[in-house]
Structure 1
Amino acid sequence: MSVSSSSSLNTTLDPAPVSSSNSTDYLFYLTCLDSFASHVIYTTYTFINFIFLFPFYILILYMGFQQWRHQHSVPARTATSHSDIFTYHMVLLEIFGVFGSVSYTFGNYINSEHLVILGVYVFNIIFPGQTLFHCLTCAERYLAVVHPIIYMHLRETRGVRIRNISIVCVWLLCFGWVGLNALYLPNSPTIIFLSLMGVCLIVILFCCISVLHVLTHPGPGEVGRNKELVAQSKQRAFHMIRAIAVVLLLRFVGVGVCFGLEKLVTLGEEDLCWLLDTGITLTIPSSLVLPLLFLHRKGKLACCRRNTESE
């Protein structure tokens, strides 16, 4: 879904199908809504987001609120980690996506142009933020493993200030992305977004390789019990960064398909719709990886609870 889809909505919302000669004037996925299969897929996607993922996101925010209350009632408690803070903001971002999807789908059912436009714009808020919060999480884990002394200093007031500034910048970019899409109408800033994702993937892969190198080459001071604890910490960081790298690679492919469909003039409409549906499916894991990793760290996943306790 992209803001460029809001162009010529009066025509695309008309019950009559959009002719292939005019399809280049609109984002192609709106044309796909004329097919029964695409209509079912979008509705199912919205249903899963609202019925299953939305309560999941609320649970994580509730856990964050409980942790915040405990920290203020018992000042001696350990401060919230940077990774957890990034996860909370990621979840808030995903909630925007849920409501944008609901607004878009409901507007399409009742043929409301205003709801469709609202859904498109709200949904677009999440695009750069998802990638950047993943990137910030990997950078935080990279510092913790590769540069532990610098990381320990950044856990204090200076580090919190840098983290908060980074989060504010990400949110500003998210809302600025909506305005950028509006400026590019009836096209979409495909190259800009794919370039951003490409840079973030390079950063994440660098973090993953660096952590793997440190994991396979322990420091001279890591002996005995200390060596085992440090190795476990490095392994958790490596698994986290690796999981994020995999889902972001899937997201890069999926979003690249979504944004590039209108450029693929050599394929028929049914083939393009199939590619679009596949692209949307590939973006789902990136919405779940940080929340699932968060629950794993907190020992809330039954399948991982024993491993978490042993760590």
Structure 2
Amino acid sequence: MNNFTGNFTTPEASTNSTTDSFWLLESLEMFMCSINLLFGSPVHSYVIWLIVTGTGSGVASEFFILNLSVCEIGNCLNCLFNIMSVFFQRISKLPIFLLGLFYTGRPLFQCLMCVERYLAVVHPVTFLKYKPLRYRVICCAAAWILVLGSCFCCLFIVYAKHVQIHSQLFSLQFLLALSIQLFCLVAVLRALKRSGPGERGREEENPMKRRAMENRKRKRELSEDLRTKIVEKYQQSQGYKSISRDLDVPLSTVRNMIKKFATHGIVANLPGRGRKRKIYERLQRRIVRMVDKQPQTSPKEIQAVLQAQGASVITPYILKHGAI
């Protein structure tokens, strides 16, 4: 008898335990709704303000983000109505109706954003074809119709007490949205991982061509500071190979630079003969005199006179030196 009494739980104690658990879950739900309302509302309102005022890329390119932010504002209002329904029983149906925004609106607009990014990266030609705003408006209008139907569906299922149908329907919807988003994500990552046309060409470049490009880089003219460093290292009793390795300069260049310094005492380029004159000073003075005597003479007439005298000059030099 004592054992039966010790193991028996009275109905009052069981009712108190259930009431405490229900109150704990309700308190946790109120806390999460408060966090969502306090932080979600200002953030999404700021996003909507940025898109509408044109601070970002514009309404056309961020139309799906705009609709998602509006949907999230509705979820935040649903949190507010959920808190108020504890004190006002008249609005208890409104939070149930707005559950469609959470179950359908959020994943649906996220899927539209993922599909848009997928087309932009993987199929850019198709993306440019459907880039105008009217296609986004059509997609969002269809999405809002589905969201409205989901809201009425939530209201009907909860009041009809078909809890199992409710859970199965929205679990299937969640898995479908998740699979679409994962497919778009993996496809975009694979597309970004592949090398582009220019990079693929560099990878498959001919070894002879690569060696020629390296030799071309080696033949670039050395700066005067680098030439001075070569001479300084040589004066510090450092060998040719060591200087070539330290300064990344070909061995033959190091040898020629040191030989040049030993012969001429400088590292700068030696003054050369320069470019040969295309026209001599005597012929230039003759052209100037002809122009001074007859300013209306054309370059072709001067060229004909000079050719008759045994001098061959092209027209551009007559224009340049005669200042016609």
1:209 to 178, 182, 186: 186
Tell me the alpha carbon deviations over residues 234-259 of structure 1, each in whole angstroms, 9 at most, x when there is no partner. Answer: xxxxxxxxxxxxxxxxxxxxxxxxxx
Alpha-carbon distance in 1 for matches of 2:49, 2:151: 28
Shift of 1:49: 1.9
Shift of 1:222: 5.4
One-letter code aligned to 1:130: R
Shift of 1:154: 2.0
> For 1:14-163, what aligned pairs fall within 5 Å after superposition?
35-67=22-54, 79-80=58-59, 82=61, 84-108=62-86, 110=87, 112-155=88-131, 157=132, 160-163=133-136
Identical aligned pairs, as a percentage? 23
Shift of 1:191: 2.1
Tell me the alpha carbon deviations over residues 161-205 of structure 1, each in whole angstroms, 9 at most, x when there is no partner. Answer: 221111111111111112222333212432222222222222222
- For structure 1, the residue ranges without an aligned partner over 5 or more in a row are 1-15, 21-30, 72-77, 225-311
Shift of 1:140: 0.7
Tell me the alpha carbon deviations over residues 239-287 of structure 1, each in whole angstroms, 9 at most, x when there is no partner. Answer: xxxxxxxxxxxxxxxxxxxxxxxxxxxxxxxxxxxxxxxxxxxxxxxxx
Cα distance, 1:180–1:123 mapped onto 2, change above 3 Å: closer
One-letter code aligned to 2:183: F
> For 1:288-307, what aligned pairs fall within 5 Å after superposition?
none
Could you say which structure has the higher helix fraction? Answer: 1
Alpha-carbon distance in 2 for matches of 1:201, 1:221: 35
Cα distance, 1:33–1:115 mapped onto 2, change above 3 Å: farther
Give the aligned partner of residue 144 of structure 2.
Answer: 171
CA contact (8 A) 1:135 1:203 kept: yes
Alpha-carbon distance in 2 for matches of 1:57, 1:132: 17
Tell me the alpha carbon deviations over residues 4-26 of structure 1, each in whole angstroms, 9 at most, x when there is no partner. Answer: xxxxxxxxxxxx99979xxxxxx
Provide TM-score, normalisation by structure 1.
0.53
Alpha-carbon distance in 1 for matches of 2:136, 2:19: 41
Could you say which structure has the greater relative contact order, defined with CA pairs below 8 angstroms and 6 or more residues apart? 1
Shift of 1:121: 1.5
Cα distance, 1:207–1:125 mapped onto 2, change above 3 Å: closer
Alpha-carbon distance in 1 for matches of 2:111, 2:84: 33
Provide TM-score, normalisation by structure 2.
0.51
Alpha-carbon distance in 2 for matches of 1:173, 1:116: 23
Aligned residue pairs: how many? 185
- For structure 2, the residue ranges without an aligned partner over 5 or more in a row are 1-11, 202-324
